Amino acid sequence: MRKSLIALTLCLTAAGLAATAQAELTGTLQKIKDSGAITVGHRESSVPFSYLDATQKPVGYAMDLCAKVVAAVKNELKMPNLQVKYQAVTSQNRIPLMQNGTIDLECGSTTNSLARQQQVGFSVAYFITSVRMGVRKDSGIKDIGDLDGKPVVTTTGTTSDGLIKQNEKGKAINVKNLYGKDHADSFLMVESGRAAAFVMDDILIAGLIANAKNPGDFAIVGPSLRDEPYGVMVRKDDAPFKALVDKTLIGLMKSGEAEKLYTQWFLNPIPPRGVNLNFPMSPALKAAFATPTDKGVE
Site residues (vs other proteins, CB under 8 A): 91-92, 95-96, 99-101, 113, 115-116, 118-119, 151, 156-159, 162, 166, 178-181, 185, 188, 192-194, 235-237
Q: How far is CA 201 from CA 1, 41, 49, in A?
A: 63, 21, 13
Beta-carbon contacts of residue 232 (< 8 Å; ≥ 6 apart): 62, 65, 66, 69, 105, 106, 107, 122, 123, 126, 245, 249
Q: Dihedral of CA 43/47/50/51: which sign?
A: positive
Q: Which is nearer to other proteins, 96 or 280 (CB)?
A: 96
Reported residue count of the chain is 298
Min dist CB 95 to other proteins, Å, is 6
* 180: Cβ contacts below 8 Å, ≥ 6 apart: 153, 154, 155, 156, 186, 187, 188, 189, 198
Nearer of residues 156 and 278 to other proteins, judged by Cβ = 156
State how far the Cα of 108 lies from the Cα of 118, in Å rounded to an integer. 19
Q: Tell me how far, at minimum, the Cβ of 176 lies from other proteins, in Å.
A: 9
Closest approach, Cβ 86 to other proteins, in A, equals 22
Q: Which is nearer to other proteins, 116 or 132 (CB)?
A: 116
- Residue (236 or 247) nearer to other proteins, CB: 236
Least distance from other proteins to the Cβ atom of residue 102, Å:
10
Q: Omega of the bond prior to 80 within 30 degrees of 0, cis?
A: no
Query: Minimum Å distance from CB 61 to other proteins?
Result: 22
Interacting residues of 208 by C-beta distance below 8 A, sequence separation 6+ = 134, 183, 184, 187
**91 or 282: CB nearest other proteins:** 91
CB of 244 to other proteins, least distance (A): 19
Residue-by-residue DSSP string for 208-240: HHHHSS-GGGEEEEEEEEEEEEEEEEEETT-HH
Smaller CB separation from other proteins, 22 or 99: 99
The DSSP 8-state label assigned to residue 282 in this structure reads: P
Instruction: Name the minimum Å distance from CB 63 to other proteins.
Output: 23
Residue pair 197/133 in contact by the 8 Å Cβ criterion: yes
Q: Would you say 65 or 208 has its CB closer to other proteins?
A: 208
